[in-house]
Structure 1
């Protein structure tokens, strides 16, 4: 087994990859540390017994565990569904390119179809973000890019241009009725994939559920020292901070992956998927 260098070690990966969560939660951790420190100071320095039975924090912790499991599972289901949909995008794009290569004679339309099929993953991923990045489509002709810029819904535009070119080839008698229908089935599949992605993207989790869960975690973190302070004393402060950090990290990651098409660290590698589709189609063209 080859030796791992430090950059590949578990220790390095934990602190380099997960460090962004500490930055995002830094202010929240400070607001939890302040009241916890005050309670510890009152108990340790003021000789005021503020200990309570651990039953209430324990009960609240059990309820919190159930809520976190539900929140995490709901977000993961959306993440995994999106991954399956993108897997379908990969397969459909490859099949489409293979069929175009085998069924269509060499022509301008055939070359443009390869480019449009390659472009669809790029326009789809940016459609689910903040808008199409036309610099990524530098493999398309300028005329096609100008046509795309006239549309608000660019993935629809790409499919429209694909079908226009297929009809041109069909009108010249270069493909049969059956071949045309077979090729259009792939366009229908691309539209279906786009609709599934839009459904995931445009159906967020209810905000009230997120606010309630965050508020519950904060209240739990405030009450928790009352059950720990007698045994842990000053160590109650780091214990509460760690528990709060773990709970809020689960919530934060769940919020990221419920819409997995963005640029958050835990989102799907949509850019890599689009680039791989382009490379696969280029290989199909040249072989």
Structure 2
């Protein structure tokens, strides 16, 4: 995730970050520029269309469709940002649940071996979930103990949550914690799987294909028809104007594509790796 000062306007205007949409759109912008130049040359020099040509009225269509495309892009970016923000809230909840579980166990548990066990397992859930959402391979074994191995062919976060609850249940059977304490600890463990499920819902449910494909086609054909009508008013200046309009519309779509999956490795995705490291550090401090 990019760290920046939101009050530094000069940096925003004149600095191009590697994740900036301008870099990604350069090839397409060059194509749009050549295309617009070709249409402008044909209309002005070759076809020699009169000022009262019906082609000039195409700009009326652009005025009507401009409102429609703006509504579609607003809905697209808002939906993508809602997914990004919900992912952030889920990971914020995971941080709080990990801390609360560590705080309660630090008071309840008296033996160092039990505290050391949870000192490793609680942060492991965040680390495994982070890799699970990024589709990265995880180690088959969490610790040095053979009986704590993780099966890569099964749901990894669920296995870690099960290991944590199994240990707490064993402590209850060994009379190291009471029934009331077991109920208190159960809430945090249950929240682990709820957060995992919510993150998987975001990860595995993209924007419907038909909507995304339609919007891309709409932007493309809208921009490709712009030179025909505006050549009459702008002449060859239509070239930079059309390129700029394409840059604005396509950039909004690219930004929405990037943030709709907040658990990837893009520059604006959530810093889940850093958050998992913070959970590990905080749990180790508490236990």
| TM-score of the pair, normalised by structure 2 | 0.87
Q: Which runs of 5+ in 2 are unaligned?
A: none
What residue is the counterpart of 2:89 in the other structure? 84
Equivalent in 232, 238, 241 of residue 236 of structure 1: 238
Structure 1 residues 64 and 90: CA distance shift in structure 2, 3 A: same
SS of the residue corresponding to residue 255 of structure 1 reads helix
Equivalent in 186, 189, 204 of residue 184 of structure 1: 186
Matches within 5 A, 1:89-100: 89-100=94-105
Structure 2: distance between partners of 1:63 and 1:277: 45
What residue is the counterpart of 1:37 in the other structure? 37
Q: CA deviation at 1:155?
A: 0.5
What residue is the counterpart of 1:158 in the other structure? 160
Aligned partners of 1:104 and 1:110 also within 8 Å: yes
Structure 1 residues 146 and 104: CA distance shift in structure 2, 3 A: closer
What residue is the counterpart of 2:118 in the other structure? 113
What residue is the counterpart of 2:56 in the other structure? 52
Structure 1 residues 229 and 258: CA distance shift in structure 2, 3 A: same
Structure 1: distance between partners of 2:92 and 2:38: 52
| TM-score of the pair, normalised by structure 1 | 0.87
SS of the residue corresponding to residue 48 of structure 2 reads coil
Structure 1: distance between partners of 2:134 and 2:234: 47
Q: How many residues align?
A: 276
Structure 1 residues 210 and 159: CA distance shift in structure 2, 3 A: same
Structure 2: distance between partners of 1:214 and 1:241: 16
Which runs of structure 1 show a deviation greater than 4 angstroms over 4 or more consecutive aligned residues?
none
Structure 2: distance between partners of 1:87 and 1:116: 19
Greater relative contact order structure (CA < 8 Å, 6+ sep): 2
